[in-house]
Structure 1
Amino acid sequence: MLPGDLRYRRGVRALTLAVAAGCAAAFPALSAPATAAPPEITCGWSPRINADTFNVAFPDTFANYWMTLVPAAPGAGVTLRGEFPHARYISFVTYSALGEATDVVTDTSITPDAGSVNPFPDGADRQAANRSYTVRVVAGERPANPEPNTLYARPANGVIPVLYRVYRPDAGRDAMGGTGLPRTTVHTAGGGSYDLADCGTSTSASDPHGVFSQGRSRLGGRAVPPPHAPQWAGREGGGLFPNPDNKYLATLVDTGRTAVVRGRLPDTPDTYPGTARMDAAQLRYWSMCTGDGPSTSTIGCLVDDELPVDANGEYTIVVSAPEQRPDPACGVAWLPANSGETLLIMRNMLPSGDFPNAVQGADPENPEPVLGPYYPRITYPSGSADADGVCPAIR
């Protein structure tokens, strides 16, 4: 979800405790067979997590997140059975007690159930009718030869946090891409099993284009502060529930100043209209967001397939206070700035093998040489907006 080598331990704890409160107050010692969920376990997946619900760890507004806490008693395990959603990307990621990713199962690596189709590999049938899959979550170290469709994790206080992500659902689909959440089945050490219901309403709609309230609570200091624009630095995600399939660039925009960001937009699959096949592309997904560093909250995001570009495939993004927002008729994009320092975050997801200009291959301290024209260059206009090639603000 997040961008940087940032250690907001209380934010991680707040997210985990919020899920625990909504899902399960405590997991029992799962040592005997069971046919129904014990009363201590009330549900499986949390309600949807996003900037409009629980705005921490810099969520991308065009993605949706659900967490579950998997019991990690010896011999216990969990099976997740679902249908591949109509979306750009999904994954399952396990985390440590500090919110650090420990394992990931990415959509393209999931073998579908017999008779079903995985719609995510290049050229796959995105509209296949049969699209079911099964993923297991196992407590323990990932072996040298892991089982297919299996997530491994070291238990943290008796549970394993698992995040399920759905990026950019197709037009007309809900946040889950039209196929619901995976069914969660707990298997006990004694050979029993039981299904968990979801924790609450998970189909709530959200506006990914919204400007979200700025959190004011401070969750700790930055371990490694990002540079100030116009420089960017690479970020791995630190302890804020990162997505291992993403790499990030981050920088801070000067307080109270309008910034202009320009760069070339990588090619990404055209999935949003509900296309028939998964296109091969330079990146699976690209976005740029603004955030509030102290609270790790997202302010607003832009997504690749909506970003206006010129004849050379280059975009212009204005980062400013709402009163300085450029007129949409000008053909430039806008991101809302914070009233204090604004953190800019650029995501690159799953670059193709023949795309050398992704963040994944760049020096975190000096990413510009590898990114080349895809490096987001930032300027601070002086004088009139027209004189600097940026449209006038809406007054």
Structure 2
Amino acid sequence: MHSVVALFVRLGCVLALISGVVGVAAPASAGPPDSVLCAWRFMSNDTVLNVAFPDANSTYWLMPYALGPGDSIELSGTYPAARYFSLNTYGTDLNTVDTLRDNQIAPDPGSGNPYVDASAAALPTDQQRWHARLVNGPADHSRNEIQAVASGQSTPIGFVIVRVYVPTDPASLGGGVPLPDVRLTLAGNQVPAQPCEQPFNPATYTGPVADAAKAVFDQGIAAAASGAFPGNAPEATFGNPASTAGLFPNGDNKYVGTRISYQPGRLVVVRAKAPTFPDTRAGQSPTEPTQVRYWSMCQNDLRTPYPVVACAADFQTALDADGYYTYVLAAPADLPANLPSTVTTIPWGSTDVDKVLFLRNMTPSAAFYPNSVQASQDSGTDPAVTMGPYYPRAAYCSTETFAAGGAAACLGA
């Protein structure tokens, strides 16, 4: 367990207490641990451990580990009923090491993958099974392998996150299936890791251990977030973040964002064309041929621990007859009365804190890629140029101006 403390020292905080409560495997040289490990110790969403700009329509489960040469972790689970799920690994810099998403995870023999074959969603859950392995070294995705430790990293520490977006049943964060089983192979010994407390109880995230863990992540995340949208970034103008490294980024998502600040009587208006998506809450399959798998507009506090305040996901966003969305962000006192049904409101939250407004694009299709956020970032080009009508135009506007002329009056269109 000493390696866990070493990680947190590197991040700037001595966290000896956490070594006894976070299910982290010791390096192979230490041999198997003396007690049964606890898998998926941390859960994060918009209500529990709300840190690092999460999406309000997703939940994240995190497990730290330490793997020596030749060690591995086997995950086995059932495909969730959800828009999307993935396995992402991270290094000690909290940046992405590897990503294996739902439609890349081959099913077990005799099972089907509903993210590849829509008809597989009708199979019994015991015929929707998968296995994947985290390996300390290069990974072969065709064998459901994931690289667990960053290349060139001086310590064998890593984190794996299971993400589930838009579960079909909103009451089941995990998409109606248990979290993956975990089995570690350390120095040739197989060690099972039992699930942590289920369901997750927010009360377990209080006290000195939880506070220390949060402080560790806060420090790393604060440093990363301050670089993503520095104080001199233009307000109410969407652009590519300087970097999302250190913010547990999802390899399947890219973002454009803008900093915004509050003034009484002023709101923010955002308008653009909406990409098409598979509306799984309405019964569509995630295999539907659409422009993106998921998109959302999320408003976040620009202050540690950088929580999400509110999101409007694709299926929660009103569109006009031409397929355009219009968002209004305002404090309750500044919200115009009698907004049109084609306008979606996003609450401002605390008016004492500057915000960051993010547009997410997830896994664009090949045809949509040239207009996606991904294309802008891959080419280093201004998203206002590459995204065309899908670029979110934003502007500050007075309540009176919007009430009189709508989004066109605010955006000069």
After TM superposition, is the score higher than 0.5? yes
Any idea what the Cα deviations from partners look like across 1:105-131, whole Å, max 9, x if unmatched?
111111100111111137554333221
| Contact kept in structure 2, 1:22 and 1:199, CA below 8 Å | no
The equivalent of 1:135 in structure 2 is 132
Q: Is the 8 A contact 1:86 1:173 kept in 2?
A: no
Moved more, 317-326 or 350-359: 317-326
Partner of 2:207: none
Mapped to 1, the partners of 2:122 and 2:17 lie a distance apart of 36
Q: CA 1:326/1:164 → structure 2, altered by over 3 Å: closer, same or farther? A: farther
Q: What TM-score, normalized by structure 1, do the two folds share? A: 0.83
- Measure how far apart 1:298 and its partner are: 1.1
Contact 2:103 2:115 in 1 (8 A): yes
Higher share of residues assigned helix = 2
The answer to whether 1:302 aligns with 2:312 is yes
Structure 2 unmatched runs, 5+: 1-7, 203-214, 408-413
What whole-Å deviation, never above 9, does each CA across 1:252-275 have from its counterpart, x for those lacking one? 113323101111110001111344
Instruction: Please tell me the residue identity of whatever aligns with 2:363.
Output: L
Pick which of 194-203 and 44-53 moved more. 194-203
Q: Structure 1 residues 121, 384: closer, same or farther in 2, change over 3 A? A: same
Structure 2 Cα separation of the partners of residues 72 and 359 of structure 1 = 35
Aligned-residue identity in percent? 31
Partner of 1:263: 272
- When the two structures are aligned, how many residues end up with a matched partner? 365
Following superposition, the deviation at residue 202 of structure 1 comes to: 3.9
2-structure distance, mates of 1:55, 1:100: 18
Matches within 5 A, 1:1-395: 22-24=21-23, 27-30=25-28, 38-39=34-35, 42-121=37-116, 123=118, 125-129=120-124, 130-140=127-137, 142=138, 148-154=143-149, 157-171=155-169, 174-190=172-188, 192-202=189-199, 219-220=222-223, 222-225=226-229, 227-235=233-241, 236-256=243-263, 257-275=266-284, 278-295=287-304, 296-326=306-336, 330-331=340-341, 332-337=343-348, 338-339=350-351, 340-355=353-368, 356-362=370-376, 363-364=379-380, 366-382=382-398, 383-389=400-406
Task: Name the CA distance, whole Å, in 1 between partners of 2:9 and 2:381.
Answer: 27
Answer whether contact 1:270 1:279 (CA < 8 A) is retained.
no
CA RMSD of aligned residues (A): 3.1
Unpaired segments of 5 or more residues in structure 1? 1-8, 206-214, 391-395
CA distance in 1, matches of 2:279, 2:344: 19
Matched to 2:327, the amino acid is I
8 Å Cα contact 2:26/2:67 also seen in 1: no
Given that residues 63 and 159 in structure 2 are in contact (C-alpha distance below 8 angstroms), is that contact kept between their aligned partners in structure 1?
yes
CA contact (8 A) 1:11 1:56 kept: no
Give the letter aligned to residue 93 of structure 1: N
The structural deviation recorded for 1:222 is: 1.6
* Gap change, CA 1:184 and 1:313, over 3 Å in 2: same
Shift of 1:21: 6.4
Rounded to whole Å, the distance in 1 between the matches of 2:9 and 2:318 is 38
- TM-score for both structures, normalised by structure 2: 0.79
Q: Which has the higher contact order (CA 8 A, sep 6+)?
A: 1
Superposed CA offset, 1:25-55 (max 9, x none): x533445886xx632x540112421121111
